[in-house]
Amino acid sequence: MAELSSASGVPVATIKFYLRERLLPAGERTGPNQARYGEEHLRRLRLIRGLLEVGGLSVATARGVLDAVDSELPLTQSFGVAQRAVSATMDPADIDPQALARIDRLLAGWRVSGDNPGRLAAAYVLQTFDSVGQRDERDWFSRYAAAALLVAEADLDQVEARGSREDMAETVVIGTVLGDALFSGLRRAAQEHVSSLRYPVSPEPGRIPTLE
Amino acid sequence: MAELSSASGVPVATIKFYLRERLLPAGERTGPNQARYGEEHLRRLRLIRGLLEVGGLSVATARGVLDAVDSELPLTQSFGVAQRAVSATMDPADIDPQALARIDRLLAGWRVSGDNPGRLAAAYVLQTFDSVGQRDERDWFSRYAAAALLVAEADLDQVEARGSREDMAETVVIGTVLGDALFSGLRRAAQEHVSSLRYPVSPEPGRIPTLE
DNA sequence: CAATATGGACAGTAGAACTATCCGATAGTT
DNA sequence: AACTATCGGATAGTTCTACTGTCCATATTG
């Protein structure tokens, strides 16, 4: 266990915590108080850290996601589980039906089920957007939708490139969770790029001030 | 204050908490123990809830973002502040230089400063992606980058459509925070759409099982 | 004038993610 | 065989965050 800890950089106490929380399967026992951990434990541990740190999942949510990876669910359902895990479960009741209708108009032609968590989340964002007095200018929403479609095609391709069902399921989960983080990172970089093209930099480069 | 509470749906105790935390400016005093809150307080309160609920920001981070909106920062800096707020501040030290180099290759031709938080975050995602044994198949990364560029153009257009500097600053912040949530929602919807096109539904529609 | 409401200060709470301590058993050293 | 170090497991803290509840002096209202 100490070995696993030093190989991964995760404190022993934390590994014990993950074992207790059933995120990490127990090691192969070699005696009543000895266990061996292998390469797969290290990989799993890195996956856990990735889900928690990069994906920002809670321990409980990560457990659900990992269970889905380990289970024998058909692939289409893996997507559903992963999506539900990363989206805050929201009551359709407190979403403005009008916002939902706008999302549906935006997604016209898409085959999306009524309880797709992404659709509900998007509607909730629209509603919030309105309530703080913002307006959709120059097709902001629909350009987002178009970009989302591109990304979703890439996601499916990435999953299909894997061989076995388990690999695909793992890729679905990782892609769903890390994909969000990757995209928002790239988006911020792209914002700076586009911004610097449109507003050529002032002579003095100057550091962007940090928060606070 | 009770009025503000019922209009916004936020409990009075929570409003007091936000006042204490300097998220919400104090109301106009009409007496030693009476204050009036107006439309702008309601809007601000909704913005706060949006940042916390939809954007998932912490109270401390939201304060930083709101301070940026209120300040007289030039617009280009507002982007920086908003970006830094929504990205977990990460030490460039614990990012694999190799992952950074790959991101830079991916972003070839982009004008992005070295300390752009999105660039660092994306590199960190790449590193995690590798460490859990995933590979970039069929240009997954570069297709993400292309989509991010599209979205960033839309973001800039949305901001430019606003009139005053304050409106623009607010739009930057809202767009940065809510844009992430909007995109990931749309991405999930698009995933289901693309998936159902590629793998036509089985005769029995069947609900996707919920987590747990 | 009495009942209720108000805003502010401050203490308390619940949940999440660790972290520290203890313990009995065993592995390695001498 | 004796001794020390380490192991895995159980349990009890600890820290942080976002609220929530209570109290109180003052106002407003019927």
Q: Is the CB of B31 under 7 A from strand D?
A: yes
Interatomic distance A29 CA / D7 C1' (Å): 12
The pLDDT assigned to A207 comes to: 52
- Give me B131's structure tokens: 């460490």
Residue A203 in this model has a pLDDT that exceeds 60: no
Domain range summary for chain A, segments of one domain joined by +: 1-54, 77-198
Residue B37 clears pLDDT 80, i.e. is over it: yes
Smallest Cβ–Cβ distance between A188 and the set B117, B194, B198 belongs to B117
Tell which residue, B209, B131, B133, has the closest CA to residue A78: B209
pLDDT band per the 50, 70, 90 thresholds, residue A208: low
Q: Are B81 and A211 a contacting pair at CB < 8 A?
A: yes
Show which positions of strand C are touched by protein (CB under 7 A): 5-10, 16-21, 24-27
Backbone angles phi, psi at B88, to 5 degrees: -65, 125
Which residues have C-beta within 8 Å of that of residue B146, sequence separation ≥ 6? A150
Q: Is A28 helix (H, G, I), strand (E, B) or coil?
A: strand
Rounded CA-CA distance A113/B3 in Å is: 39
In angstroms, the CA A123 to CA A101 distance is 8
Residue B178 to residue B196: CA distance in whole angstroms = 27
Rounded average pLDDT over B129-156: 96
Residue nearest to nucleotide D25 (CA to C1'): B33
Residue-wise burial string across B25-52, b where 16 or more C-beta atoms lie within 10 A, e elsewhere: eebeeeeeeeeebeeebbebbbbbbbbb
Q: For residue range A86-123, what is the model confidence (pLDDT) as tens digits?
A: 887 777 887 899 999 999 999 999 999 998 999 999 99
* Token pair of B123 as six digits: 């590199």
Q: What is the pLDDT of residue A91?
A: 78
| Among A36-40, A49-53, A206-210, B138-142, the least confident range | A206-210
Both tokens of residue B194?
């693309």
The minimal CB distance from A46 to the residues B116, B121, B132 is found for B132
Interface with chain B: mutation pick from A187, A201, A207, highest number of B CBs within 10 Å: A187
Tokens 């939902």 belong to A100
Q: How confident is the model at residue B212 (pLDDT cuts 50, 70, 90)?
A: very low
Cβ contact, residue pair B128, A56, below 8 Å: no
Torsion of CA A57, A63, A67, A68, to 10 degrees: -20
pLDDT at A202: 60
User: What pLDDT score was predicted for residue B211?
Assistant: 46
* A187/B107 touch (CB, cutoff 8 Å), yes or no: no
First to last CA, chain B: 41
In chain A, the DSSP E strands lie at 28-31, 34-36
Average model confidence (pLDDT) across chain B: 89
Higher pLDDT, B96 or B206: B96
Cβ atoms A144, A138 nearer than 8 A: no
pLDDT above 70: residue B136: yes
Task: Give the mean model confidence (pLDDT) for residues B70-79.
Answer: 84
Phi/psi of residue B137, nearest 5 degrees: -110, 145
Nearest to A64 among B157, B191, B211 (CB): B211
Amino acid at residue number A75? L
C-alpha angle A18/B91/A65, rounded to 5°?
A: 30
The Cβ of residue A164 has, within 10 Å, a number of other Cβ atoms equal to 8
Please name the residues in contact with B14: beta carbons below 8 A apart, sequence gap of 6 or more. none
Quick one: which of A124, A186, A56 has its CA closest to B83? A186
